[in-house]
Amino acid sequence: MSAKKIDIVIGSGVPLRGNDIDTDRIIPARFLKRVTFDGLGQFAFADDIASLEIQNKKHPFRDPLYEKGSILVSNQNFGCGSSREHAPQALKRWGINAIIAESYSEIFFGNCVALGIPCYTVDHETAQKILAWIEANPSVPMETSTESRSLKMGDETISLNLADGPRGQFLDGTWHARAALMANVNKVVELASGLPYMSFLD
């Protein structure tokens, strides 16, 4: 298993306006009982979707205009709440490959890095500008880049913020911990065989 570099993400946007969108809204607690993450994407925002349907409104994750979107855009403190890995897993399995927001919960951000989902930040004015552009151009592809920390949106290029640490992980493949272990499996086995509590390897 080789480490995968993550740089360019191309896809249309999914506008999700609002602050403090927490992990319980992203994936309600009852879905945490699933044995694997497979198929989790279909339940993303299940309760929000149901609440809006009662009002004859469409959530972006059920709106045909955004059904093929892969770049999620939101506002402040996205992914707050409990530390459940299921939240970014659900987003990834729905089809989200990059996120742009004003800020994130630290644990949610770390879980996204571990799944290979770049999470960029922008200020409020820029977030509102991107959201409005997506709503006006619902199926038009955008492009994010970890290398240049930028978003190409129509004829405009917007600077995005991404700390050097996670940016470096995406570009050199070290975000993928399992790949790093598999690439050094002989060293792992050698080290483990010298540990008394790992004698079962003999």
> Which one has a higher pLDDT value, 189 or 164?
164
Across 159-186, b (16+ Cβ under 10 Å) vs e yields: ebebeeebbebbeebebbeeeeeeeeee
**Residue range 145-170: average pLDDT?**
97
CATH class as words, domain 8-201:
alpha beta
**Model pLDDT for residues 54-86, shown as the tens digit of each residue:** 999 999 999 999 999 999 999 999 999 988 899
Position 16 pLDDT exceeds 80: yes
Question: pLDDT grade, residue 176 (50/70/90)?
Answer: confident
> Which one has a higher pLDDT value, 46 or 83?
46
Question: pLDDT grade, residue 198 (50/70/90)?
Answer: low
Of all residues in the chain, the percent with pLDDT exceeding 70 is: 86
Position 35 pLDDT exceeds 80: no
